[in-house]
Structure 1
Amino acid sequence: MSFSIDEGLNDNTKALAASSCDYVQDLMDLDDVPMSSRLRFAKEPDGILPDLRENGASVFSATRNRKFRNDSWGDAPALEMTVGYSVIGPADRQLTQLYIPRRARLA
């Protein structure tokens, strides 16, 4: 997942946006969590989005299916995954396009 927070937001909204990004990253780091708990965690962002809207922000997102490969892997298959992109910006600005790079590196 890749996040971007627009500089045009006020500091309080940026802090709220950053905490929502941290929350999503924490969820992605969870391992061996029962499905019932995952469903409960998934409901929490529903509370975060209205808070962002109340503070003058909108959330835009997109995904791209990717194949990651390294020359040193030899005949090993490429690592396939879906990469998510999220932009949090001022509510009065509407995005018509979201730039999603064709090439990416795993960090």
Structure 2
Amino acid sequence: MSKGFSGIPGGMQGLMKQAQKMQADLARAQEEAAEITAEGSAGGVVKVVANGKNQLVSVTLAKEALNPEDADVLQEAFLAAANTALNEAQETVRQKLAKITGGMNLPGLF
């Protein structure tokens, strides 16, 4: 057994098994990210749902929000709701990944 891996249970082989398991867990988490949804709403006139892959999946507008004179208010409400939904979805994915990686920050996974 190599001296460099003497502190790791199972040595190099154990390390490889751990890496393979983490890789499989991360691949599964990436597939499951599309199933994670989060919702954002603003002013009671806009509701946006986003998934864990940073995609908006639905937008619901209240009929009273469709007044052309209030277009700027609707735009601001939409942006606020969309950003809330996306941020919540990202946080849910981040928490799920932290469980898999033991808290290691691995940029670029999602």
TM-score relative to the length of structure 1: 0.35
Q: Which structure's relative contact order is higher, taking Cα pairs within 8 Å and 6+ residues apart?
A: 1
TM-score by length of structure 2 reads 0.34
Higher share of residues assigned helix? 2
Larger Rg: 2
More strand by share: 1
